[in-house]
Structure 1
């Protein structure tokens, strides 16, 4: 106990780091955000009228994106929600480069009452890894 009291700042830092590591996945679980594989994303688009929403920045999107995806950068997602309103009832597959930003975007979409939001696991990197088409 003496060690803990003498080094309280180390333990505080440890708890902060642990909280930050757990908060992201916990937040996604609270909002019902699921990660889908590339194969599942293709199935949703082809058979369930799924819509791919790419939240990467403009230069990333121009360098290659999933065909027919809707581009709404994460930095402008809050103001670009009207562009997505017509897809509220359809499955949305949110993607970015590796699925970090898309998880944040998915939480925001769920907060705005989008019912069926998924994150493309691995993002566009996983899509390209499966040799699926990209448009430039």
Structure 2
């Protein structure tokens, strides 16, 4: 039996192995991107702890749609502290379109001394999928 006939005779096992490995890798990637608050946990944080929603999208994205009551502070402006609550104990829920920029912003906000900062897992997409209110500027 040659190696080429082995591959030809067992191609379906090779495809299954590659496919299952790809699915496992995809789940790991999704799990890493999905860290943070669920939309329902974010709503509880806003309602019970008076958290402020900070949307770190660019102004054009923010104008196209954002969580009701969110304040727009683009990711590039986070380091300046402009537009952020002066009380660094104010709880913050940070969101963007998908959650990637929010995670970066959370790290930056913690460096600035904000104590209770959480990213919204899945961003505005997850917020909309949870049928939570969205407004346009």
User: Do they superpose with TM above 0.5?
Assistant: yes
Structure 1 outlier segments of 4+, above 2 Å: none
1:55-103 per-residue CA deviation (whole Å, 9 max, x = no partner) reads 0001110000111111000122222x14214241121000001110010
Q: Match of 2:125? A: 125
TM-score normalised according to structure 1 size: 0.72
1:90-127 per-residue CA deviation (whole Å, 9 max, x = no partner) reads 21000001110010000000011100010000000000
Q: Is the Cα–Cα contact under 8 Å of residues 55 and 94 in structure 2 kept in the other structure?
A: yes
TM-score normalised according to structure 2 size: 0.71
SS of residue matched to 1:98: coil
Q: Is the Cα–Cα contact under 8 Å of residues 51 and 87 in structure 1 kept in the other structure?
A: no
- Number of residue equivalences: 104
Q: Match of 1:22? A: none
Q: Match of 2:15? A: none
1:95-134 matched pairs, under 5 angstroms: 95-134=95-134
Structure 1: distance between partners of 2:91 and 2:71: 13
Structure 1: gaps of 5 or more residues: 1-24, 26-33
Q: Match of 1:7? A: none
SS of residue matched to 2:94: strand
Q: Is the Cα–Cα contact under 8 Å of residues 79 and 112 in structure 2 kept in the other structure?
A: no
SS of residue matched to 1:78: helix
Is 2:76 aligned against 1:83?
Answer: no
- Let me know the Cα RMSD of the aligned residues: 1.6
Whichever of the two has the greater Rg, that structure is: 2
Q: Match of 1:65? A: 66
Structure 2: distance between partners of 1:74 and 1:38: 20
Structure 2: gaps of 5 or more residues: 1-31
